[in-house]
Structure 1
């Protein structure tokens, strides 16, 4: 039983590392869309999470986190444009 759990943990860690390396490689190969390295301070209409970016947290925490749970359920109720006057 212990050996089986240990093997499962090792496989999960290997998968996490592979996904992280793929993400890092993909980020290195893509040029940054903005000359400024920080996120854009203004709302971006239609911005979505890229599929690979969404896969990494799901692989590392299959059951999700509280923040992921909230985003999954509240996604689409509000848009950035709703808060531009703030």
Structure 2
């Protein structure tokens, strides 16, 4: 349930979005596929026009459980999706 390093996470998000744009299939998971993987999927959706609240709502609906696990993870999603890349 720990938060990832923002810069490394941002790189992973950008690379994942690029791969999806290029037609790759992507599988994302962590232990329960709610917290860390949910954060990644939400952040990737930001590259496709989703706002943080919309991304969280969409992933939660598709996953069938509230995403992410913690308030800190939700704040991290908002931060990573609204902070310009270095």
TM-score, length basis structure 2: 0.28
TM-score, length basis structure 1: 0.28
Bigger Rg, which one? 1
